Chain A
Amino acid sequence: DQQVKQNSPSLSVQEGRISILNCDYTNSMFDYFLWYKKYPAEGPTFLISISSIKDKNEDGRFTVFLNKSAKHLSLHIVPSQPGDSAVYFCAAPYGQNFVFGPGTRLSVLP
């Protein structure tokens, strides 16, 4: 039972354009969400988070939007840069650990 879903396994975007990565969840008890970024041969690194009391959190080029009624969140990267090419995971705390989505591979084309 996948509680966190990322339905797009991959996404390609032109440099300078906006990248939008989507994440859906099924557990309405989730109240905190995180995005992690993973480069090949490296561990995931924390990127940005959002609490359910907010519907938007912005950090530089990265903005996460949360729509609780739709159980949907999205990560916007603008402008996209080639260095943003990585796998992005959406995650939510679940008990003592985290539930991760399957990830979306973003390719930013120069």
Chain B
Amino acid sequence: GAGVSQSPSNKVTEKGKDVELRCDPISGHTALYWYRQSLGQGLEFLIYFQGNSAPDKSGLPSDRFSAERTGGSVSTLTIQRTQQEDSAVYLCASSLALAGNGYTFGSGTRLTVV
């Protein structure tokens, strides 16, 4: 596609439920990143996929968070047993490689845990 597509754009869920957030990167982009922005905070790195290499999961805040990338394209971020502190905007970005101005973000998924 022309840009990075994320779905849903908004998600309200009850505390304790699981959620799945989807990211469809730009076709041909080998690198895919998940970030989140909590209220009043900067962008917090979560996880990075590069081609077929093992993902860099160093930013995942707890074992309730996991992500996968199927076929080197679409990625799903899963949050199990959601907590109120998980409420944030979850942003996905993709790039051809680690290149600053080639790093394209999606519009994000606003997650609200009630």
Chain A positions near chain B (C-beta within 8 angstroms): 2, 4, 6, 9, 32, 34, 36, 41-46, 49, 89, 91, 93, 95-103
- Contact sample, A vs B, 27 pairs, CB 8 Å cutoff: A2-B42, A4-B42, A6-B42, A34-B101, A41-B108, A42-B107, A43-B4, A43-B93, A43-B104, A43-B108, A44-B43, A44-B91, A44-B105, A45-B105, A46-B100, A93-B100, A95-B56, A96-B48, A96-B98, A97-B45, A97-B48, A98-B100, A100-B35, A100-B42, A100-B43, A100-B44, A101-B42
Chain B positions near chain A (C-beta within 8 angstroms): 4, 9, 33, 35, 40-45, 48, 50, 56, 59, 91, 93, 98, 100-101, 103-108
**What residues of chain B lie closer than 8 Å to A9, measured between beta carbons?**
40
**What residues of chain A lie closer than 8 Å to B44, measured between beta carbons?**
100
**What residues of chain A lie closer than 8 Å to B101, measured between beta carbons?**
34, 46, 49
Identify the 5 closest CB pairs spanning chains A and B, nearest first: A43-B105, A102-B42, A100-B43, A46-B101, A34-B100
Contact across chains for B43 and A49 when beta carbons are under 8 A apart: no
**What residues of chain A lie closer than 8 Å to B91, measured between beta carbons?**
43-44
A94 to chain B, nearest CB (A): 8
Contact across chains for A32 and B100 when beta carbons are under 8 A apart: yes
Bound-complex Cα distance A6 to B41 (A): 11
**What residues of chain B lie closer than 8 Å to A103, measured between beta carbons?**
42
Contact across chains for B106 and A89 when beta carbons are under 8 A apart: no
**What residues of chain A lie closer than 8 Å to B93, measured between beta carbons?**
43
Bound-complex Cα distance A45 to B101 (A): 9
Contact across chains for B50 and A41 when beta carbons are under 8 A apart: no
